[in-house]
């Protein structure tokens, strides 16, 4: 039952007075239960869409954010995997700059959880920056 159908069918229920001159309590409870059910379904569907990233291509695209490193309040360095290449991007509030392209992917896999990821990324970034300063 769609929301439009629910509204069409519930309007006559509210408009019809009972024998006592008012709307019956059972009719109001039925209407209230229907509205709560519809709202619950909408919230559950929104949660599922957000949880499984269905609205944005399903998360199965060739582009993924591998790691990010905040440099300031609005500045960060982002490592993006695009197919078999990785791009190091500088991101600010106004623009995005390509800093470097890695032909062979940088492996950031560690046995530790996500807490070690920023530290490892930071080490790799420092090593890259030291190489570019020397050359």
Residue-wise pLDDT tens digits, 36-55: 999 999 999 998 888 876 66
Q: What is the pLDDT of residue 7?
A: 54
Mean pLDDT computed over 70-84: 87
Q: What is the pLDDT of residue 43?
A: 95
Mean pLDDT of the chain: 76
Q: What is the pLDDT of residue 48?
A: 87
Q: Report the alpha-carbon distance of residue 135 to residue 125 in Å, rounded.
A: 16
- In angstroms, the Cα distances linking 63 to 36, 40, 57, 80 are 39, 34, 11, 7
Per-residue confidence at 84, pLDDT binned at 50, 70, 90?
confident
**pLDDT higher than 90, residue 59:** no
pTM higher than the cut 0.75 = no
**pLDDT higher than 50, residue 64:** yes
Q: What is the dihedral of CA 73, 77, 81, 84, to 10 degrees?
A: 170
């Amino acid at each position: 039952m769609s929301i439009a159908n629910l509204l069409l069918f519930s309007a006559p229920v509210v408009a019809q007075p009972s024998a006592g001159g008012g709307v019956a309590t059972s009719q109001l409870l039925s209407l209230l239960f229907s509205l709560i059910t519809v709202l619950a379904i909408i919230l559950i569907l929104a949660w599922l869409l957000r949880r499984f990233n269905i609205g944005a291509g399903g998360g199965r695209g060739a582009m993924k954010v591998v790691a990010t490193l905040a440099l300031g309040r609005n500045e960060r360095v982002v490592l993006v995997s695009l197919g078999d290449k990785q791009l190091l991007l500088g991101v600010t509030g106004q623009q995005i700059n390509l800093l470097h392209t890695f032909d062979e992917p940088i492996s950031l896999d560690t046995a530790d959880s996500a807490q070690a990821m920023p530290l490892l990324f930071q080490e790799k970034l420092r090593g890259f920056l030291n190489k570019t300063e020397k050359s």
